Structure 1
């Protein structure tokens, strides 16, 4: 993801992937599915993710506003084309010797304008649908990653503290923070 100033930034999906990689690389507890993670580091990573999500949501809202602008511009252009077609139609009809051909030509221009307006609407709808589908996938992956992280944290909480190895000093048991 690149910011407005052109610099590289880490997005919410990248942050989720970092958290998953961190948990996957954590030291395993022997004879258990559990692992040891630095609580403060995990909380810091999750807080960074939490801070990034509102920005992603604002970008999605900006995309929707852009979609509305594109639709409005397309409708204005369609109205302009239709108005031109109707004006041209009226001008041609007013000429007595070409009334029949003018009527056909005006109808053709109006139909062409309406077809062009519909084509523009269809293109905008397709663009917006694709963009929203991509954003929906992004949100789904983000939520899945958060859910996996929370499940791992709950598993660690259920296991409780681990018996220290003979080389490790004994630390006082501290409760996990509530999310």
Structure 2
């Protein structure tokens, strides 16, 4: 008796797939849905092996893999937009400082005005640099949290799928002992190495 023997059976208790809409961050939703399907799959009659819709699980996993690069591209786009904003702010600060220097040359007698303009220009530059540091830290924290959650989800999914495969392999040879880091996890870690992107 194999898993394929039950493909044609219909059972109202079998969980139906829910429609998935594409949005930024939806890879996490898709992966959680896949984990739920595998974890809550009903057992086959007269067996403790779970009955899952293989096509649905494969489709969800492929959909998640397709969406992850899009989400990474969107995160990069946000970084680019942030950099353009910071460059624009720096240009404005430089222009303000240049204007203050020109005014100082024209108004040598009015040193207080020149000092005030230069002080204001320095304040603008300091504020722009502080904003740059803050935005950089927030962006790095956001990306680190996102990639960390993807890593945790992929690790859980890998374990759940491995457990499901072990349950489905009734009568087959026992699986070889796992190494400390399976090849699939090494490939996933390499795939999401943001330094290489």
Q: Note whether the superposition's TM-score is higher than 0.5.
A: yes
Spell out structure 1 runs of 4+ moving beyond 4 A: 28-32
**Deviates further, 43-52 or 15-24:** 15-24
TM-score, normalised with respect to structure 1: 0.72
Change over 3 Å in CA distance of 1:158–1:24 after alignment to 2: closer
User: In the aligned structure 2, how far is the partner of 1:14 from the partner of 1:157?
Assistant: 22
1:17 is aligned to 32
Q: Among 138, 141, 160, which residue is 1:133 paired with? A: 141
Q: Are 1:23 and 1:37, in contact at CA under 8 Å, matched by a contact in 2?
A: yes
Q: Are 1:89 and 1:106, in contact at CA under 8 Å, matched by a contact in 2?
A: yes
Between structures 1 and 2, the one with greater helix share: 1
TM-score, normalised with respect to structure 2: 0.66
1:55 is aligned to 70
Counterparts of 1:19-38 in structure 2, within 5 Å, are: 19-28=34-43, 35-38=50-53
2:151 is aligned to 143
User: In the aligned structure 2, how far is the partner of 1:113 from the partner of 1:129?
Assistant: 24
2:103 maps to 1:88: yes
2:7 is aligned to none
Q: Are 1:35 and 1:156, in contact at CA under 8 Å, matched by a contact in 2?
A: yes
User: In the aligned structure 1, how far is the partner of 2:136 from the partner of 2:34?
Assistant: 31
Structure 2 residues not aligned, in runs of 5+? 1-20, 172-182, 185-197
User: What is the number of residues matched between the two proteins?
Assistant: 150
Structure 1 residues not aligned, in runs of 5+? 1-7, 94-98, 164-177
1:70 is aligned to 85
User: In the aligned structure 1, how far is the partner of 2:71 from the partner of 2:57?
Assistant: 21
TM-aligned CA deviation for residue 21 of structure 1 = 2.0
Q: Are 1:70 and 1:124, in contact at CA under 8 Å, matched by a contact in 2?
A: no
User: In the aligned structure 1, how far is the partner of 2:57 from the partner of 2:74?
Assistant: 26
